[in-house]
Amino acid sequence: MAAGGSGRRAGLMAAAGGAELWRRLSAWLPRGRLGLAALLGRLSDRFSRGRDRRARRSSWLLLAPLLTPPVPVVTAPPCSLCPEGAHRFQWIRNLVPEFGISSSHVKVLSSPTEFYELLKVQIKTAKQRVVMASLYLGTGLLEQELVDCLEETLEKSLEAKGSSDLRVSILLDYTRGSRGRKNSRTMLIPLLQRFPEQVRVSLFHTPNLRGLLRLLIPERFNETIGLQHIKVYLFDDNVILSGANLSDLYFTNRQDRYVLLQDSPEIADFFTELVDAIGDVSLQLQQDDTVEMMEGMVHPYQGDKVAYCEIANRRVMEVINSARTRQELLHAKTFHSSQQGSALLPQQGAQASGGLKPEPDTWIYPLIQMKPFGIQIDEMVTETLLTEAERDARIYLTTGYFNLTQAYMDLILGTRAEYRILLASPEVNGFFGAKGVAGAIPAAYVYIEHQFYSEVCCLHQQERVRLQEYSRAGWTFHAKGLWLYLAGSDLPCLTLIGSPNFGYRSVHRDLEAQVAIVTENKALQQQLHQEQEQLYLCSGVVSSSTFEQPNRYVKLWVKLVTPLIKNFF
């Protein structure tokens, strides 16, 4: 290998966790196509260019907190279990735990109302734990009804046993959750006051918002620096993964995606531990509306930034790596049990296998992205999926905020799969009609979309890469994720669902989590296909004439400013 290639690979290994991660990934990726070496080299080049740019801009003192190199990722030991017949995406489990489940435990939801009603039912029936991670909790009547459900469930738990086994843990973003006089904090304080032993409210504050930057940036604008953006809602052993926040719009007329994983204790344990880990490095809301850190914990914006990020990295990676180890042991035990059961079956008949669990036909992989802490798993998996997508494969990718990273755009334009990208038309953008500068954000997205479409046309890729705009009267659009259809298949075998938007913020600024769901079950594949079709049915194909419409006019100042601020939204 050329010296330059070796240097790029070494640079990426340092950034993404070292030689062990390189070995684990290289061993599992398919051969004969664009390999991981090319992907990692591309990533390494990008990291190197980023460091050079940071050096040149070192005089921008206000942005200094944003430009600190990431903390190296702590990696887990390699996975040695390789059962025969494993699906083609098995390499993902070398980075994160693999949870094998029955497809009958997966339910895809389709509407905000269905999502909201399910939240209430799950809260009311919870016995052991309620764990909710969101950007914020709204302050309207529907949100208050959720809080009332929590209060009622906690009361019943106390009445039934005298001392409650039910624990409620809520993780929100500090800046978004503190916006305004009536906010997420004031909504939850009554629960803290009434059930201090059962309820915990954690408010994550990005370590990048500190010092002079924190003093100068006003409310709302301070949310551009970095957020807690994970959306996970779990109740006992049932887990809801979504991109939706706990706000009335997301319960009524803001379209998102939602999937329920039922009776999945290992997955619920993982996300409980993940939320606990982030909560431990977050500010703790007190009964008097003050906040304080846990004893002995480094403060996110008053303490040493490097020390804080190292602790946060270690806590989160401990969750990921311990879950990987547990699942490997469980897989080994199940594998050997099934082998023994198969040997006994001819001698003892069907009764010998009666106690064995059915073989999983669906696999769940949690993908975590926390660049402030140097954790880039979701980014690596997403880029690898895009890189390895074969000719005639189809990828349906959707985002409510079309602002793809340069790496994602390069892969979409430079690989061979067909892409159908669904994005919000200006009228269904969440910022449409907003006051002040925020009201120009939909126009900025139109400008970014037009630039990307022009590049597609210049490369004569209009047939392979198609943009479609979601449009629905009275609704806004917030769905994100992708569906992967292998060549020759009419149904998807993989979907990504969760909080990331595939944009700069998701990759570099915010805390994000989604899951990759891989399934061999035709019924579940049909569910996912119908979900995709339902979203795309409300869309129109983008063409050159789209940008000639009066509502697509972008003012000159927006065109000038967008390149400077696109990394903040």
Q: Which residues are catalytic?
A: 229, 231, 236
| Nearest-angstrom CA–CA distance, 291 and 558 | 38
Alpha carbon distances (Å) from 169 to 143, 248, 278, 546: 16, 21, 11, 46
Say how far apart CA 413 and CA 291 lie, in whole Å. Answer: 47
DSSP assignment of 151-164: HHHHHHHHHHHSS-
State CA 424 to chain mean position distance: 19
CA gap 430, 477 in Å, rounded: 7
Q: How many CA atoms lie within 13 A of 149 on its CB side?
A: 19
CB 227 within 8 A of CB 176: yes
530 closest CA partner among 294, 287, 257, 144: 257
State the amino acid at position 325 in one-letter form.
T
Backbone angles phi, psi at 522, to 5 degrees: -65, -35
- Residues 248, 141 contacting (CB under 8 angstroms): yes
**DSSP string for residues in 126-179:** -SSEEEEE-S-B--SHHHHHHHHHHHHHHHHHHHHHSS---EEEEEEEHHHHT-
At 424 the three-state DSSP class reads: strand
Strands (E), 46-117: 99-101, 106-109
The four Cα atoms 114, 119, 125, 129 give a dihedral, to 10 degrees, of: 150
The answer to whether the beta carbons of residues 134 and 187 sit under 8 Å apart is: no
C-alpha dihedral sign at 216, 220, 225, 226: positive
Cβ neighbours of residue 374 closer than 8 Å, sequence gap 6 or more: 15, 70, 71, 72, 73, 309, 313
- The DSSP-derived string for 202-244 is EEE--TTS-HHHHHHSPTTGGGGS--B---EEEETTEEEEES-
Give the burial class of 452: count Cβ atoms within 10 A of its Cβ; 0-12 exposed, 13-18 middle, 19 or more buried: buried
Q: For residue 295, what are the contacts with CB-CB under 8 A and spacing of at least 6?
A: none
